[in-house]
Amino acid sequence: MNNTVDTPGPGAPGPDTPSGPDSSREPDAPLTSHTPNVPNTPDTPDAPASEASHSDTPHAEAPGYSPQWLELREGADAAARAPGLLRPLRAFLADRPPTDLGLVISDLGCGTGSMTRWLAPRLDGPQHWILYDHDPRLLDRAAALAPPTAADGGRVTVSTEQGDIGRLTVDGLAGTSLVTGSALLDVLTADEVEALVDACTGAGCPVLLALSVVGRVEFTPADPLDAELTDAFNAHQRRHRDGRRLLGPDAVTAATEAFERRGATVHTQASPWRLDPSRGAEESVLTEWWLRGWVEAAREQRPDLAPRAENYLRRRLNACAEGELSVVVHHVDLLALPGPAEATTS
The contact set with ligand SAM (CB under 6 A) reads 19, 21, 23, 25, 56, 65, 70, 77, 109-111, 114-115, 133-135, 138, 164-166, 182-184, 187, 192
208 vs 325, beta carbon nearer ligand SAM = 208
DSSP per residue, 227-274: HHHHHHHHHHHT-EETTEEB-GGGHHHHHHHHHHHTT-EEEEEE--EE
23 vs 268, beta carbon nearer ligand SAM = 23
CB 81 to ligand SAM: min, Å: 10
135 vs 250, beta carbon nearer ligand SAM = 135
- Tell me the C-alpha distance between 65 and 60, whole Å: 9
Find all residues with CB under 8 Å of 104, minimum gap 6, and list them.
127, 128, 130, 175, 176, 177, 178
CB 315 to ligand SAM: min, Å: 27
- Tell me the C-alpha distance between 215 and 246, whole Å: 13
Q: Which of 192, 183, 188 has the alpha carbon at shortest distance from 290?
A: 183
CB 24 to ligand SAM: min, Å: 8
CB 75 to ligand SAM: min, Å: 11
Alpha helices in 105-225 (DSSP H): 114-119, 136-144, 190-202
Find all residues with CB under 8 Å of 173, minimum gap 6, and list them.
106, 179, 199, 200, 202, 203, 205
CB 105 to ligand SAM: min, Å: 13
CB 134 to ligand SAM: min, Å: 4
291 vs 305, beta carbon nearer ligand SAM = 291
- Tell me the C-alpha distance between 96 and 38, whole Å: 26
Q: Note the Cα 288 to chain centre separation in Å.
A: 20
CB 151 to ligand SAM: min, Å: 20
110 vs 178, beta carbon nearer ligand SAM = 110
End-to-end CA distance of the chain: 15
CB 2 to ligand SAM: min, Å: 23
- Tell me the C-alpha distance between 232 and 20, whole Å: 13
Q: What angle do CA 179, 184, 185 make, to 5 degrees?
A: 90
192 vs 250, beta carbon nearer ligand SAM = 192
CB 77 to ligand SAM: min, Å: 6
Helix/strand number for the chain, H first, E second: 11, 12
Q: Residue 241: how many CB atoms within 10 A of its CB? A: 15
Give the 3-state secondary structure of residue 279.
helix
- Say if residue 6 is exposed, middle or buried (CB neighbours under 10 Å; 0-12, 13-18, 19+): exposed
14 vs 109, beta carbon nearer ligand SAM = 109
87 vs 167, beta carbon nearer ligand SAM = 167
57 vs 344, beta carbon nearer ligand SAM = 57
- Tell me the C-alpha distance between 173 and 166, whole Å: 13
